[in-house]
Structure 1
């Protein structure tokens, strides 16, 4: 295993570092100190390099993209209704950035921060950052994010944190996958889930968990394009939905390769998008699918959605895993 560090640019007078971890199979991941971003996931098949995730080659594109490509989003991923929550009957009003609501913890979330970084071992990189009250969240929160690549072609992202004040913690990686030579619509998705969240017009959970049926049913492998086609009678043109999952959450595959998704939390948000070409995005010509492993969105406002409260003095750690497999 080898880790190589290079300069990827500069933001606000700070150097942004890129780290490339390569294993014995010549599989590699590249990660950035800016937003603790997953910048590339590259495999070698029959001597040919293939990138499996959406990416940019310059820092400015990462800074300006509204799609949060590959970034760590948090301290809480997803939306919080009315940008408001309570812990132990104490209410907290956050700064809205999505109408009256807040998404991905606001404009100063982890996705806009440049992390301190070190090579932690011969196959991992550790990013650290401290946030202190940004966007109205209570508490000084010390965050650690570790990316690891092993010789089994499995990527692990571990999120750890501790705080001096009761607060929230539910980060994720906003990584977009595209495994095939063909359009994302031809790739097949299986989600190990029987339920997904009912959403209102603001893409906020209503509190109901619905049985997966028709367009939303990915219990068996189904082409993403078929699911999108099934959405049309509902007057919907994209997936932006949260599934209730556990452990092995999902598998995405093309004809030649697959990625298995694992999590120790209970949620998977899928989002079909085209972060690279806005014109194609406007015609629903999607280039990739985001697979965000997390506790279910807006959990703080729904008692049965999972725990996202991090109490003062407590330490918590979550791990998401992404395993590449070449198909025969």
Structure 2
């Protein structure tokens, strides 16, 4: 989305809260846009261990000294490059009134804060587009990740 200064913020945010799911509803937030110059902070001490099909084993893995440690904030581009992307479930330290995920634009200081009292957040960040894969929003033109 263009801003008054002609720059594009590239943010799409959506929420899912079907009322018929009852009290166990999971809420989904999605952002799409550039990762350069963005800092991610995730309030989580553990991620779920996943098997080769990305199915959780039930074991918690400590994020300390791993690419999955976003507690102090990490540059997204750097983290994605070091780990070849992310596709996992963080076990969050959720507290009422505190954000579990914070995305910050280093240039503007703008932030997206996600609040939840749920115990987990699934995060997917791809490293690059495969040849021949295009975003639908670009009408088949080459997409930029």
Q: Normalising by the residue count of structure 2, what TM-score does the alignment of the two structures yield?
A: 0.69
The structural deviation recorded for 1:50 is 4.5
CA RMSD of aligned residues (A): 3.4
Q: Does the C-alpha gap of structure 1 residues 71 and 259 become closer, same or farther in structure 2, counting only changes over 3 Å? A: closer
Q: Distance in 2 between matches of 1:48 and 1:215?
A: 30
Q: Distance in 2 between matches of 1:286 and 1:201?
A: 28
Number of corresponding residues = 128
Give the aligned partner of residue 242 of structure 1.
89
Q: Distance in 2 between matches of 1:201 and 1:265?
A: 26
Q: Normalising by the residue count of structure 1, what TM-score does the alignment of the two structures yield?
A: 0.34
Q: 2:12 aligns with which of 53, 56, 67?
A: 53
The structural deviation recorded for 1:273 is 4.0
The structural deviation recorded for 1:230 is 2.4
Give the aligned partner of residue 226 of structure 1.
78
Give the aligned partner of residue 132 of structure 1.
none
Give the aligned partner of residue 200 of structure 1.
51
Q: 1:175 aligns with which of 4, 9, 30?
A: 30
The structural deviation recorded for 1:282 is 1.0
Q: SS at 1:230's partner residue?
A: helix
Q: 1:261 aligns with which of 114, 117, 131?
A: 114
Q: Does the C-alpha gap of structure 1 residues 51 and 226 become closer, same or farther in structure 2, counting only changes over 3 Å? A: closer
Structure 1 segments unaligned to the other structure (5+ residues): 1-41, 55-69, 73-126, 128-142, 145-159, 163-167, 232-236, 275-279, 288-328
The structural deviation recorded for 1:71 is 6.7
CA contact (8 A) 2:80 2:126 kept: no
Between structure 1 and structure 2, the one with the greater Rg is 1
Residues 116-135 of structure 1, C-alpha deviations (whole Å, 9 max, x = no match): xxxxxxxxxxx8xxxxxxxx
Q: How does 1:30-41 map to 2 (within 5 A)?
A: none
Q: SS at 2:44's partner residue?
A: coil
Give the aligned partner of residue 124 of structure 2.
271
Structure 2 segments unaligned to the other structure (5+ residues): 134-142
Q: 2:129 aligns with which of 270, 281, 296?
A: 281
Q: Distance in 1 between matches of 2:129 and 2:15?
A: 20
Give the aligned partner of residue 211 of structure 1.
62
Q: SS at 2:67's partner residue?
A: helix
Structure number with greater CO (CA < 8 Å, separation at least 6) is 2
Q: How does 1:64-213 map to 2 (within 5 A)?
A: 70=14, 72=16, 143-144=18-19, 161-162=21-22, 169-178=24-33, 183-212=34-63, 213=65
Q: SS at 2:79's partner residue?
A: helix
